[in-house]
Amino acid sequence: MRNHLLAIATVVATMSAPIAAQAQYTVGVAGAGTGPVTVDDGTVGIALDQRPAFREYIVRERVPNYTIQDRVVVGGVLPESGVTIYDVPQSFGAMPYRYTVVNGETILVEPRTRRIVQVIE
């Protein structure tokens, strides 16, 4: 009986570790500057002071709003089809990433994996 309880406790602890690690991610970035900003957890994206200009750029470019079933969260993955991603202009400094608008949220995406790396507030 003791071995059975120990096995269950081990399985529960193993399954909850990724959830605890995911809770430590910071949504967005902190700091000022003209280039990409890295925060302690490794998140890279558009600097806080660049966000208003980036939002204006999105409106000016008339980027379409795509709708998907999943929630838009950092770490989520966009579907392979049905959502177009666009190059980030050099002036915003987040060159390795692409952007799009999904469910009304402007997001940065890692193009190879289509993983969401930043939700622009």
Q: Domain limits of the chain?
A: 2-120
Output the pTM of the full model. Answer: 0.62
Rounded to the nearest integer, the mean pLDDT of the chain is 75
- Residue 16 amino acid letter: S
Judge contact between 37 and 30, C-beta under 8 A. Answer: yes
Using the CB atoms, write b or e for 78-97: b if 16+ within 10 Å: beeeebebeebeeebbbeeb
- Statement: 2-120 belongs to CATH 1.20.120: no
DSSP-derived letter for residue 87 is E
Tell me the per-residue pLDDT of 64-108, one tens digit each, with 9 for 90 and over.
999 999 889 999 999 998 999 999 998 888 789 999 999 999 999
